[in-house]
Amino acid sequence: MTDVIVVGAGPTGLMLAAELRLHGLRVVVLERLTVPTGESRGQGLHVRSVELMDQRGLLERFLAVSERFQIGGHFGGVHKPWPVGMDTAHPYGLATPQPATERLLGERALELGVEFRRGCEVLGLSQDEAGVSVEVAGVGSSAEQGTAGGGGPRLRASYLVGCDGGRSTVRGLLGVGFPGEPATVETLLGELAATEDPATIAAVVAEVRETQPVFGAMPLGEGRYRWIVPAEGVAEDRTVAPTLEEFAERLRAFAGTDFGVHAPCGLARFGDATRLAERYRIGRVLLAGDAAHVHPPTGGQGMNLGVQDAFNLGWKLAAAVHGWAPEGLLDSYQVERRPVAAEVLDNTRAQMTLLGSDPGATALRGLLSRLLDFEEVNRYVTGMITGVEVRYDFGAGHALLGRRLRDVRLKRGRLYELLHDGRGLLLDQTGRLSVTGWTDRIDHVVDVVEDGDVGEELDVPAVLLRPDGHVVWAGDDQRELLEQVPRWFGAAAG
Over residues 52-73, the pLDDT tens digits come to 999 999 999 999 999 999 988 8
Annotation: CATH topology of 409-489:
Glutaredoxin (3.40.30)
- Asked whether the predicted pLDDT for residue 148 surpasses 50, the reply is no
Does 3.30.70.2450 match the CATH number of domain 185-271? yes
Average pLDDT over residues 312-316: 98
Average pLDDT over residues 316-336: 98
- Asked whether the predicted pLDDT for residue 482 surpasses 80, the reply is yes
Tell me, what's the pLDDT at 357?
A: 83
pLDDT band at residue 145 under the 50/70/90 scheme: very low
Which of 22-36, 235-249, 280-294 is predicted least confidently? 235-249
- Asked whether the predicted pLDDT for residue 233 surpasses 90, the reply is no
Tell me, what's the pLDDT at 226?
A: 86
- Asked whether the predicted pLDDT for residue 236 surpasses 80, the reply is no
Tell me, what's the pLDDT at 211?
A: 85
pLDDT band at residue 152 under the 50/70/90 scheme: low
Tell me, what's the pLDDT at 47?
A: 97
What CATH code would you report for 2-43+97-179+275-345? 3.50.50.60
Average pLDDT over residues 196-215: 92
Summarize pLDDT for 105-122 with one digit per residue, the tens: 999 999 999 999 999 999
Average pLDDT over residues 341-350: 97
Tell me, what's the pLDDT at 38?
A: 67
Tell me, what's the pLDDT at 43?
A: 73
- Which of 394-407 are b and which e, b meaning 16 or more Cβ less than 10 Å from the residue's Cβ? beeeeebbbbbbbb
pLDDT band at residue 456 under the 50/70/90 scheme: low
What average pLDDT does the chain have?
92
pLDDT band at residue 384 under the 50/70/90 scheme: very high
**What residue type is 278 in one-letter code?**
E
Average pLDDT over residues 138-154: 58
Average pLDDT over residues 390-419: 94
Give me the percent of the chain exceeding a pLDDT of 90.
78
Average pLDDT over residues 313-333: 98
pLDDT band at residue 144 under the 50/70/90 scheme: very low
The full length of the chain comes to 494
Enumerate the domain spans of the chain: 2-43+97-179+275-345, 185-271, 409-489
429 closest CA partner among 482, 468, 476: 476
Tell me, what's the pLDDT at 471?
A: 98
pLDDT band at residue 40 under the 50/70/90 scheme: low
| Better-scored residue on pLDDT, 271 or 426 | 426
134 closest CA partner among 115, 117, 150, 147: 147
- Asked whether the predicted pLDDT for residue 363 surpasses 50, the reply is yes
Does the model's pTM come out above 0.95?
A: no
Tell me, what's the pLDDT at 469?
A: 97
